[in-house]
Amino acid sequence: MMNFTEFIKKELLGWKNFEIIGIFIVFVMVFVNAVILKDSIVAVLSAICGILYTVMAGKGKISCYLFGLAGSGCYIYLAFVNALWGNMLLYLCYYIPMQMLGIFRWKKHLKEDSREIIKTKLSKIGRLRLVLAGFIGSFFSILILAHFNDKSPIIDGITTFLSILGMYLTVRRSVEQWTVWMIVNGLSFLMWLNIVLHGTKVYSTVVMWGAYFILAVYFYFVWKKELNALKSC
């Protein structure tokens, strides 16, 4: 049975210097926003937990879900006060249960030495189904949210449904999750930037989604490289 100290050491294995520097820069930006621009405390906590979740998920570490659960709680509050009902329900009814499931699913597929997850990819048919589901699901999500007077039904609808697919792929350990997250994170960045431009002080949330987008691009290539290396062996 691994003790807590050993668990922490395993979770911190495999970090590159530029990854550490990048995370440090993002956190400095978040704290500067918090102090100078008097950002929402909940937005700051959401950003910190969310970025740590994304980084640890990209590193294939099961501890990502601990940060994910904490960040989800903060984000639910932010979505509620900004009337983003799709995002709020997504995190409350789907993200939190799926993150709990992810802990148990990932625990069964960890490498013995590094304690990182064993990564997978979808078949060609699986990717086609993913694209079709994304288009159809997003269309109906937009219609539903528009009916309930969501502030940003198109972006909220697309990001809500694609996030459902993304989280499913995350639990499945599929590299395709990062392509989905690129779309979700890019659109979410624009959505929250628009909210900031209309006077709401959630600057850290904008920084968070921008960091998410960059991390999704980065980890897509990291995972792809690892899978290609395994294929060539």
Q: What is the pLDDT of residues 80-110, one digit of tens each?
A: 888 878 778 888 998 899 999 999 999 898 8
Burial class (CB in 10 A: 0-12, 13-18, 19+), 214: middle
Across 3-7, 80-84, 229-233, least confident range: 3-7
Phi, psi of 121 (to 5 degrees): -145, 155
More reliable by pLDDT, 177 or 203:
177
pLDDT at residue 1 tops 60: no
Grade residue 11 by pLDDT with cuts at 50, 70 and 90. low
Residue 142, Cα to own-chain centre: how many angstroms?
Answer: 21
Per cent of the chain over pLDDT 90 is 38
| 148-163 mean pLDDT | 85
Grade residue 185 by pLDDT with cuts at 50, 70 and 90. very high
Instruction: Say if pTM beats, i.e. exceeds, 0.85.
Output: no
* pLDDT at site 3: 62
d(CA 165, CA 158): 11
Largest CA distance in the chain: 54
Cβ(150)–Cβ(84) below 8 Å: yes
> Side chain identity at 151, as an amino acid letter?
K
Q: Residue 35: helix, strand or coil by DSSP?
A: helix
- Most confidently modeled range among 109-118, 124-133, 196-205: 124-133
d(CA 166, CA 112): 26
Distances in Å between the Cα of 142 and the Cα atoms of 131, 150, 156, 157, 217 are 17, 9, 7, 4, 26
* pLDDT at site 110: 87
d(CA 105, CA 64): 13
Q: What is the pLDDT of residues 134-149, one digit of tens each?
A: 999 999 999 998 888 8
Residue ranges covered by each domain of the chain: 4-232
